[in-house]
A and B are shown apart, each in its own frame.
Chain A
């Protein structure tokens, strides 16, 4: 049995948590297309999921090598979007954590932080450009004004995500001063 769920996430850890909850209820995540998750029925808690943001895209040699390595440890890549991969492991093969020390968790968070900084900057430039245009042009400035106003909350959301990641990284870095 299959089902599709339409949902948007911007926090990958919440998304990961949700996929694991779905698996607990007997729905194995199969495929992601932007905004839509496809599930197939499975035994309750048959799989656990992790989401990773890779350094390179799927076609890069290092990524192929890495996914092959994961495959050998019982981890399957079920779906992907650009550098994001959805990884799955059968629960019977043991607990599933990709990162077991603080350093590698920091590295992963930093890659994602850089992505959000990139998005936040683009949004910020778009908002600023629209608002400035709305202020200086006489005709049709209401288009720029409304674009700016619509984009502003998105920009704030992205900035919040960036700061949340920066806080997590800082916490881990201070933890690392006393343990690994």
Chain B
């Protein structure tokens, strides 16, 4: 018996999560790279090859879709779909659970380095 799609419980990669977040407003590839850099305070630098692969996989899964514009721009833009938003929500629930459990056991505050 085939399981319904929603039973997929794998964690999203950091890159995919940030790409999906970026596409809540339509964006082209370079825009996504810059946006992810800004969102993460420069921590996450998406490689162009990695981004290209992720975009194609997300298009196939229909989590994102090409964004049609009237502008005669050569650059392809993409936008998140309802399916993609569902995946983002699932991931946020998962992350919330991780964080809650982490706080419960390790403590609420981030520990400063005690010794250098």
Contact = CB atoms under 8 A, between A and B. Distances in A.
The range of chain B's interface size is: 20 to 34
B29 interface: yes
A163 interface: no
Interface in B1-59: 13-15, 28-30, 33, 44-53
Interface in A29-52: 52
A101 interface: yes
B75 interface: yes
Interface in B46-90: 46-53, 74-76
B28 A100 contact: no
B45 A97 contact: yes
Interface stretch (A18-26, A65-73, A144-152): A65-73
A100 B53 contact: no
Nearest to B75: A72
Contact of B44 (A66, A100, A104, A107): A100
A157 interface: no
Contacts of B74: 68
A69 B50 CA distance: 12
A169 interface: no
A103 B47 contact: no
B48 A69 contact: yes
Contacts of A9: none
Contact of B28 (A72, A75, A98, A107): A72
A18 to B, nearest CB: 21
Nearest to A97: B47
A99 B15 CA distance: 11
B50 A104 contact: yes
B49 A103 contact: no
A101 B50 contact: yes
A124 to B, nearest CB: 32
Given A95-B45, A104-B53, 19 more contacts: A69-B29, A69-B48, A69-B52, A69-B76, A70-B52, A72-B30, A73-B33, A73-B48, A74-B30, A97-B47, A98-B47, A98-B48, A99-B47, A100-B45, A100-B50, A100-B51, A101-B47, A104-B49, A107-B53
Interface of A: 52, 66, 68-70, 72-75, 94-95, 97-101, 103-104, 107-108, 180
Interface of B: 13-15, 28-30, 33, 44-53, 74-76
